[in-house]
Amino acid sequence: MTAISNKGGGGVGKAIYRVLGSIPTGVLWFLVIVWSIPTFGLAVNSFRGRDAQRNAGWWNVFSDEGGPTLNNYEEVLTSSSTNSILESLANSFAIAIPATIIPIAIAAFAAYAFAWIDFKGREWLFIATVSLLAVPLQVALIPLLQLYSGGAHLTLPWIDKTLTLIPDFGLAGSSAAIWLTHTGFGLPFAIFLLHNYITSLPKDVFESARLDGADHFTIFWRIVLPLSVPVLAAFAIFQFLWTWNDFLIANTMAGSNPEARPTTIAIANLAGDYGRNEHLLGAGAFVQAFFPLVVFFSLQRYFVRGLLAGSVKG
pLDDT of 6-60, one tens digit each?
444 445 555 655 665 667 788 888 888 998 998 898 888 888 888 888 888 888 8
Return the SS3 of 156: strand
pLDDT band at 250 (very low <50, low <70, confident <90, very high): very high
Cα 154 to Cα 78: distance, rounded to the nearest angstrom: 50
Question: Dihedral angle at the C-alpha atoms of 293, 100, 237, 199, nearest 10 degrees?
Answer: 170
Cα 84 to Cα 267: distance, rounded to the nearest angstrom: 9
Q: Which residue has the higher pLDDT, 151 or 10?
A: 151
pLDDT of 163-205, one tens digit each?
878 888 888 888 999 999 999 999 999 999 899 889 988 888 8
Whether this model's pTM surpasses 0.95: no
Cα 38 to Cα 300: distance, rounded to the nearest angstrom: 22
**What pLDDT score was predicted for residue 163?**
81
**What pLDDT score was predicted for residue 273?**
67
Q: 148, 222, 157, 224: which is closest to 184 by C-alpha?
A: 148
154 pairs with which residues across the strands?
A: 163
pLDDT of 252-307, one tens digit each?
998 778 888 899 988 888 877 666 788 888 888 888 888 888 888 887 777 666 65
pLDDT of 94-128, one tens digit each?
999 999 999 999 999 999 999 998 889 999 999 99
Centroid of chain to Cα 214: 35
Asked if the model's pLDDT at residue 240 lies above 70, the reply is: yes
Cα 306 to Cα 56: distance, rounded to the nearest angstrom: 43
| Region of poorest pLDDT, from 135-139, 151-155, 245-249 | 151-155
**What pLDDT score was predicted for residue 312?**
46
Distances (CA, A) of 166 to 144, 149, 170: 12, 11, 11
116 in the Ramachandran plot: left (φ > 0), alpha (ψ -120 to 50) or beta?
alpha
Cα 266 to Cα 309: distance, rounded to the nearest angstrom: 36
Q: 172, 175, 174, 155: which is closest to 164 by C-alpha?
A: 155
Query: Which pairs from 150-153 meet CB under 8 Å and 24+ separation?
Result: none
Q: What are the sequence ranges of the domains in the chain?
A: 81-310
**What pLDDT score was predicted for residue 234?**
86
**What pLDDT score was predicted for residue 107?**
94
Q: Which residue has the higher pLDDT, 68 or 129?
A: 129
Helix or strand run (H / E) with residue 153 = strand 152-156
CATH 1.10.645.10 matches 81-310: no
Length of the chain: 314
**What pLDDT score was predicted for residue 224?**
92
Q: 309, 66, 54: which is closest to 196 by C-alpha?
A: 309
**What pLDDT score was predicted for residue 188?**
93
Instruction: State which amino acid sits at residue 92.
Output: S
Q: Which residue has the higher pLDDT, 314 or 89?
A: 89
- Residue 201 CB: number of other CB atoms within 10 A? 17
* All residues at 6 or more sequence positions from 220 whose CB lies less than 8 Å from its CB, including other chains: 108, 109, 112
**What pLDDT score was predicted for residue 274?**
66
pLDDT of 79-89, one tens digit each?
655 447 888 88
162 pairs with which residues across the strands?
A: 155
Return the SS3 of 172: coil
**What pLDDT score was predicted for residue 78?**
78
Distances (CA, A) of 108 to 57, 173, 223, 310: 49, 30, 12, 15
**What pLDDT score was predicted for residue 17?**
56
